[in-house]
């Protein structure tokens, strides 16, 4: 099958029997729901750009499994050039959507599970790697969106999975059959889960021998029997449901998405199992996926940052302060921070190396440094954007007020005319344009888009401490001490 178009992707979602719940109710037509559709539009952009000759080199690749032309989001990285193109593709999509386009987690899961299953098979004589290659071939041939599901609820985080009062706090096997396994549990904060055709479930932590039933990885259709999702709320999300308030939404076309994914006795056939009790390899999958995903943030968050910087510059222009030295300096600082993140994403890609399975892995130390910076710099970029925009960003009347024809003034002026008058900026700039950029910045800095930019920068792909643990492991302090000893003439 050829690459899907954006329309074909959206139409394919309508064929699924995905179970989605929101605000305590089942959502039957979730594809067209006003709170969900912007996130679907984001994923659709990954299909749309792959159809454009201008972006073909970034958005498509040649499959190492079939030799066919495929969407890069389904690709196994074959070189450092592939790793670099991944980051550039993510920056491009961030620039085009100013939001989370959701296919990164699946792409990162593909590459982590591919290399890990190869090494599991070598150690245990299993057939997980062949299972995965057949599954990924199916994904590539049909240009599917696959969600990478790693984050378990965890319950009491001081206890291992097998010690939990409720075993469902981590996804686990409840029954093993000759033809497959039955699993229960949940994955939370799952980006793009509702908009995916399939899911790849992975462990979320390293595990010991007693956690055998929790050391499990597998693929599962999104509409499998027993699987359902509860949609996550975002700041200002119900604005999308208000009639005639597209300006108040800020970014009316695109948006992110997270959900709680519940597995209620879901059957997984043997052919879709990639880990089943080999506890010593759970940590490998986690570490490799986390590394790839922390690299991703050096692309996607940078692309969104580009849009934030542009919107802040527009706000300054509309306010008539774009020539002020203080404003120029803030924009310079925002650019400096954003390009530093991009540099980290490119650096960990350039320093990548082949795995035993043959696909390429990023430099884990630099990928964790990249994500550690992402937990900080977007917060400063947003702070500076809010500084430039001014308080109007969060105190402006609604779009309905700007459009109201209700008389209120002594001369018969309407509410709309009063708003148009007093919220005008520099001459030559319409009040509506100023209104639009302020609402857009509000969305980026504080609203629904901030979930996928600011807050996700902190917690996505692991919290800051998770990266610091990996930096400590990868930092080779002993080797650095030896460098100092050699130069200083200190003998062991």
**CATH assignment of the domain containing 60:** 2.40.110.10
Place of tokens 């430039």: 388
- Judgement on whether residues 115 and 170 belong to the same structural domain of the protein: yes
C-alpha distances (whole Å) from 172 to each of 104, 167, 182, 264 are: 25, 8, 9, 11
Place of tokens 């996928």: 452
CB 49 within 8 A of CB 93: yes
CATH (domain of 439): 1.20.140.10
The structure tokens listed for 202 are 């992975």
- Judgement on whether residues 250 and 330 belong to the same structural domain of the protein: no
Domains in the chain, number? 2
CB 247 within 8 A of CB 441: no
The structure tokens listed for 421 are 């008058």
- Judgement on whether residues 85 and 144 belong to the same structural domain of the protein: yes
- Judgement on whether residues 252 and 313 belong to the same structural domain of the protein: no
Backbone φ and ψ for 395, nearest 5 degrees, come out as: -125, 5
Does residue 490 fall inside a structural domain? no
- Judgement on whether residues 235 and 326 belong to the same structural domain of the protein: no
Does residue 1 fall inside a structural domain? no
CA proximity to 202, closest of 185, 190, 189, 219: 219
Structural domain span for residue 406 = 300-475
pLDDT tens string, the chain, 492 residues long: the values are 679 999 999 999 999 999 999 999 999 999 999 999 999 999 999 999 999 999 999 999 999 999 999 999 999 999 999 999 999 999 999 999 999 999 999 999 999 999 999 999 999 999 999 999 999 999 999 999 999 999 999 999 999 999 999 999 999 999 999 999 999 999 999 999 999 999 999 999 999 999 999 999 999 999 999 999 999 999 999 999 999 899 999 999 999 999 999 999 999 999 999 999 999 999 999 999 999 999 999 999 999 999 999 999 999 999 999 999 999 999 999 999 999 999 999 999 999 999 999 999 999 999 999 999 999 999 999 999 999 999 999 999 999 999 999 999 889 999 999 999 999 999 999 999 999 999 999 999 998 887 889 888 999 999 899 999 999 999 999 999 999 999 999 998
Return d(Cα 9, Cα 40) in angstroms, integer.
9
- Judgement on whether residues 288 and 307 belong to the same structural domain of the protein: no
Predicted TM-score (pTM) of the model is 0.97
Where residue 274 falls (left for φ over 0; alpha for ψ -120 to 50; beta otherwise) is alpha
Place of tokens 């857009």: 440
CA proximity to 331, closest of 385, 383, 392, 376: 385
Active site residues: 100, 104, 191, 258, 293, 297, 300, 456
- Judgement on whether residues 250 and 396 belong to the same structural domain of the protein: no
Domain boundary residue among 239, 270, 292? 292
- Judgement on whether residues 321 and 278 belong to the same structural domain of the protein: no
Does residue 482 fall inside a structural domain? no
Does residue 485 fall inside a structural domain? no
Domain boundary residue among 226, 259, 292? 292
Does residue 432 fall inside a structural domain? yes
Does residue 489 fall inside a structural domain? no
- Judgement on whether residues 376 and 238 belong to the same structural domain of the protein: no
Does residue 197 fall inside a structural domain? yes
- Judgement on whether residues 59 and 138 belong to the same structural domain of the protein: yes
- Judgement on whether residues 260 and 323 belong to the same structural domain of the protein: no
Task: End-to-end CA distance of the chain: give it in Å, rounded.
Answer: 63
Return d(Cα 466, Cα 348) in angstroms, integer.
17
CB 182 within 8 A of CB 267: yes
Does residue 2 fall inside a structural domain? no
- Judgement on whether residues 382 and 434 belong to the same structural domain of the protein: yes
Give a three-class secondary structure readout of the chain.
CCCCCHHHHHHHHHCCCCCEEECCEECCCHHHCCCCHHHHHHHHHHHHHHHCHHHHHHHEEECCCCCCEEEHHHCCCCCHHHHHHHHHHHHHHHHHHCCCCCCHHHHHHHHHHHHHHHHHHHHHCCCHHHHHHHHHHHHHHHCCCEEEECCCCCCCCCCCHHHCCCHHHCCEEEEEECCEEEEEEEEEEEECCCCCCEEEECCCCCCCHHHHHHCEEEEEECCCCCEEEEECCCCCHHHHHCCCCHHHHCCCCCCCCEEEEEEEEEEEEHHHEEEECCHHHHHHHHHHHHHHHHHHCCCHHHHHHHHHHHHHHHHHHHHCCCCCHHHHHHHHHHHHHHHHHHHHHHHHHHCCEECCCCCEECCHHHHHHHHHHHCCHHHHHHHHHHHHHCCHHHHCCCHHHHCCCCECCCCCCEHHHHHHHHCCCCCCCCHHHHHHHHHHHHHHHCCHHHHHHHHHHHHCCCCHHHHHHHHHHHCCHHHHHHHHHHHHCCCC
């Amino acid at each position: 099958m050829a690459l899907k178009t954006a329309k074909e992707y959206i139409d394919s979602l309508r064929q699924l029997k995905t179970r989605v719940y929101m605000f305590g109710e089942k959502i039957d037509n979730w594809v067209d729901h006003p709170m969900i559709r912007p996130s679907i539009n984001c994923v659709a952009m990954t299909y749309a750009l792959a159809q454009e000759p201008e972006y073909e080199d970034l958005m498509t690749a040649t499959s190492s499994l079939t030799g066919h032309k495929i969407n890069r989001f389904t690709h196994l990285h074959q070189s450092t050039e592939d790793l670099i193109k991944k980051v550039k593709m993510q920056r491009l999509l961030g620039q085009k959507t100013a939001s989370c386009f959701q296919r990164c987690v699946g792409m990162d899961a593909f590459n982590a599970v591919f290399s890990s299953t190869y090494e599991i098979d070598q150690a245990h004589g299993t057939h997980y790697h062949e299972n995965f290659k057949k599954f990924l071939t199916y994904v590539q041939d049909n240009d599917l969106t696959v969600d990478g599901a790693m984050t378990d609820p965890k319950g009491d985080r001081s206890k291992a999975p097998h010690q939990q009062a409720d075993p469902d706090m981590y996804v686990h096997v409840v029954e093993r059959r000759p033809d497959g396994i039955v699993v229960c549990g949940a994955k939370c904060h799952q980006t793009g889960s509702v908009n995916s055709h399939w899911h790849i479930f992975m462990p979320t932590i390293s595990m010991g021998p007693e956690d055998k039933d929790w050391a499990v990885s597998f693929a599962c259709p999104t509409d499998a029997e027993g699987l359902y999702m509860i949609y996550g709320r975002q700041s200002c999300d119900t604005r999308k449901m208000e009639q005639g308030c597209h300006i108040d939404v800020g970014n009316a076309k695109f948006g992110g998405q997270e959900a709680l994914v519940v597995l209620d006795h879901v059957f997984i056939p043997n052919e879709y199992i990639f880990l089943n009790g080999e506890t010593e390899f759970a940590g490998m999958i986690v570490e490799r996926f986390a590394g790839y995903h922390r690299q991703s943030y050096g692309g996607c968050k940078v692309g969104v940052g580009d849009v934030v910087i542009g919107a802040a510059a527009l706000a300054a222009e509309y306010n008539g302060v774009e020539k002020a030295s203080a404003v120029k300096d803030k924009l310079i600082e925002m650019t400096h921070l954003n390009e530093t993140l991009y540099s980290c994403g490119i650096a960990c890609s350039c320093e990548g190396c082949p795995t035993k399975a043959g696909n390429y892995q990023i430099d884990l130390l630099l990928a964790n440094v990249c994500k550690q910076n992402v937990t900080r710099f977007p917060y400063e970029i947003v702070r500076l954007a809010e500084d430039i925009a001014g308080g109007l960003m969060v105190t402006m009347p609604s779009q309905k007020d700007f459009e109201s024809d209700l008389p209120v003034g002594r001369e018969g002026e309407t509410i709309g005319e009063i708003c148009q008058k007093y919220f005008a900026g520099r001459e030559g700039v319409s009040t509506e344009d100023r209104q639009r950029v302020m609402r857009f910045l509000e969305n980026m800095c504080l609203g629904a888009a901030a979930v996928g930019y600011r807050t996700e920068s902190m917690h996505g792909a692991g919290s800051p401490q998770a990266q610091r643990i990996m930096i400590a492991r990868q930092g080779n302090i002993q080797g650095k001490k030896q460098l100092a000893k050699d130069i200083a003439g200190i003998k062991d």
